[in-house]
Structure 1
């Protein structure tokens, strides 16, 4: 070992002669300081570099650069508790993200469908814009790992996912810190509080505005399964208890069959998009499908247009409360909001009846309750509207429920609570003057609901 040191000293003195008076300080002293002091990188014995420089491992979050005493080419970051990674850039304590997650440095590594993320230093990712070998990779949280990040300030943390032969950007299954525990977390034991939602009502869906499920957390999306394995959106519904969704019977009646099978349907709660998964959603099988026994349809009107779906996950669980999933209050027996009351409607309905596709994002708008006297006038609907129905319309005839909104909720405030007042049922065209939307009057069907749920739903009858 003395022989190696002497070589280094010779090299030092040779350099000193080369640098002359321009060199600062004593090279020998600098060597000794670098050899023993933490924070200074010892001379490289492999290349016999004559000078020692401060160690620089680009350690983050309080990490310290550590190098071996005689093998200074080998150095690493010594990370404080709760941090790990090549540069101490991974915060193992982070289980959620703040804001849009640009600063998130946790260990979530799957997309919303549970598919694993690709490592940022993998060969396929190196061809993308964001990868572990960018000059600013450390600052962006990218490295030799596959953890979710948001380097380009998108809506939430994301990663690349391999689908077939291609790689796609996918949002990650990681919780927003402002939401709290994930609805799938076993720690969550919260109780349902009907009519409560995370966002304030926003009245500005024909002419409506796009929204998220937090604005209508009781909204249920009902899909029909196909033999091919795909599914098609059918109707909306409303969660009235952890195990029960209420919708419209006409959603399940087709010209081909009056006896739908419960196995043909699935229900999603907590879903904001019609074709893609969203954080916090739950999928359910239909354990029981109950259509009203006296349902009938005229040329236009639907009578007794109400249905019940008992839902369970494939593990036998009912819905769990969260920011994205909540029950809606049922109205008092034969009690409704006053005519003229402003109410909310929500759904994936078309903008116009002739539209080929449903909108991708959930929409909501507001309408006012119309009196029976007015709705039964000849230039409205006449006698087609019965006492078991409600009419509601936008005063300017600009917004309305439309095709695809069927079965969804008409929510009004009754006695200070957001209440399921109606179920989207029928109407002529959409947002047509003097042709308001017609809704099943829920208060008239409370005894029917109580009977068919076998008392599982507590009603003030």
Structure 2
């Protein structure tokens, strides 16, 4: 019978070859997808930024990368605010007026509390009230800031300086707690992380399989990278298939039932999988997290403060600890990385114009440590003297700890309006 089909062995071999090739391609695709969850690897391709950004000028040469302007630029303002840690009184600093002014409660509107908390880097306002001046120690010559009646427009333009407070009450404001660790947690002589050091770090899992990192913004809100949850053809999963594990530093034997299921996934509507622009997504949990010493929220960057290149920040996660490693770390890792100027990072010897305004660079141009010690969606946080701020989200890079290829992070400060819009308007 075989003689009647002289081409059968050849046909059979071809069939096996085709099946093997198909399996190899499928395995490679799955492997690349998994690798993408750790830190999206891509080859630099000049011109992937938006046309407007690419047309601003030629890609800077390496020697032209010494900038420099701030890596993260705050919005200009003639009025800045702070909340007293002693008594929660709202204080303001105004150009041409020395010292800090108290804010008079006259003409105060409830919406102002939310706006000011968000401007200061908090997700929400928790309490606001008027405090009698007789209950406050006021120094001689104390000046006040007051809302202009019936004044519309920008928040910074709605104020006037007064020598007295006719209402007899000043504003006390409390915002959502964030950016603080439980006690003085420090790690000496190693990169393994002690429990409670980064209490906002979470593991975003499919079942009990770690896929990405994320950051706690509020008991029910997690911030991560959009490419982590991007719906690949045939690989998209509904929100409940994702689970968030908070308050852990080792994966060990995670049980799926121990994680908190995700109720809703909201990627940025302008996210581009090709350029990784707007690489940010919010996850809303089905059940709010119970905050503790091991689980806390991180603060957002204030909208009116610059961050300069060289600022030392921390990246954390369960990503690869060495180039070429095929398995994520079992214990949470951390790395200290400096911010790199965008002009330098977009220069011809680094990423050749690929960075958009929604991206920042951090790491060492010599190589050393990189976001391979973190993982996609995880936090890049900077200490501002009083609290930890979420400055970036691990997004992409070329290779791992390679010279002239530092980690690229989503610029959180550029996307604050979207974060506040989603977390405020989503139904309860």
Query: Into which bin does the TM-score normalised by the smaller protein fall?
Result: 0.5 to 0.7
User: Which secondary structure does the structure 2 equivalent of 1:337 belong to?
Assistant: coil
Counterparts in 2 of 1:195 and 1:433: CA distance versus 1, 3 Å: same
2:363 to 369, 373, 393: 393
2:393 to 412, 423, 447: 423
2:182 corresponds to which residue?
Answer: 198
Residues 1:241 and 2:212 aligned together:
no
User: Which secondary structure does the structure 2 equivalent of 1:263 belong to?
Assistant: helix
Counterparts in 2 of 1:220 and 1:308: CA distance versus 1, 3 Å: same
Q: CA–CA distance in 2 between the matches of 1:448 and 1:286? A: 20
Counterparts in 2 of 1:359 and 1:367: CA distance versus 1, 3 Å: same
Residues 1:405 and 2:379 aligned together:
no
User: Which secondary structure does the structure 2 equivalent of 1:285 belong to?
Assistant: strand
1:372 corresponds to which residue?
Answer: 342
Counterparts in 2 of 1:265 and 1:334: CA distance versus 1, 3 Å: farther
Counterparts in 2 of 1:332 and 1:192: CA distance versus 1, 3 Å: closer
Q: CA–CA distance in 1 between the matches of 2:373 and 2:270? A: 23
Write out per-residue CA displacement over residues 335-394 of structure 1, whole angstroms, 9 at most, x where no aligned residue.
Answer: 452211100111000123421211111111110000111111111112101111110003
Task: Quote how far apart the aligned CAs of 1:282 are.
Answer: 6.5
2:285 corresponds to which residue?
Answer: 311
Q: CA–CA distance in 2 between the matches of 1:435 and 1:341? A: 18
Write out per-residue CA displacement over residues 396-454 of structure 1, whole angstroms, 9 at most, x where no aligned residue.
Answer: 52111128710000001236321000000000111111111000000111111111112
1:323 corresponds to which residue?
Answer: 293
Counterparts in 2 of 1:439 and 1:336: CA distance versus 1, 3 Å: farther
Q: How does 1:277-296 map to 2 (within 5 A)?
A: 283-296=259-272
Counterparts in 2 of 1:383 and 1:395: CA distance versus 1, 3 Å: closer
Residues 1:339 and 2:339 aligned together:
no
TM-score, normalised to structure 1, is: 0.51
Q: CA–CA distance in 1 between the matches of 2:354 and 2:240? A: 34
1:251 corresponds to which residue?
Answer: 228
Counterparts in 2 of 1:258 and 1:454: CA distance versus 1, 3 Å: farther
1:266 to 205, 229, 243: 243
Counterparts in 2 of 1:307 and 1:422: CA distance versus 1, 3 Å: same
User: Which secondary structure does the structure 2 equivalent of 1:451 belong to?
Assistant: helix
C-alpha contact (below 8 Å) 1:203/1:365 kept by paired residues = no
1:216 to 198, 210, 225: 198
Number of equivalenced pairs: 252
Q: CA–CA distance in 1 between the matches of 2:264 and 2:178? A: 23
Which structure ranks higher in relative contact order (CA pairs < 8 Å, sequence separation ≥ 6)? Answer: 2
2:402 to 432, 454, 458: 432
1:452 corresponds to which residue?
Answer: 422
Q: CA–CA distance in 2 between the matches of 1:199 and 1:253? A: 37
User: Which secondary structure does the structure 1 equivalent of 2:353 belong to?
Assistant: helix
Q: CA–CA distance in 1 between the matches of 2:426 and 2:195? A: 25
Structure 1 segments, 4+ long, off by >6 Å, are none
Write out per-residue CA displacement over residues 78-110 of structure 1, whole angstroms, 9 at most, x where no aligned residue.
Answer: xxxxxxxxxxxxxxxxxxxxxxxxxxxxxxxxx
Counterparts in 2 of 1:456 and 1:324: CA distance versus 1, 3 Å: farther
Task: Quote how far apart the aligned CAs of 1:276 are.
Answer: 3.2
2:116 corresponds to which residue?
Answer: none
Rg: which structure is higher?
A: 1
1:355 corresponds to which residue?
Answer: 325
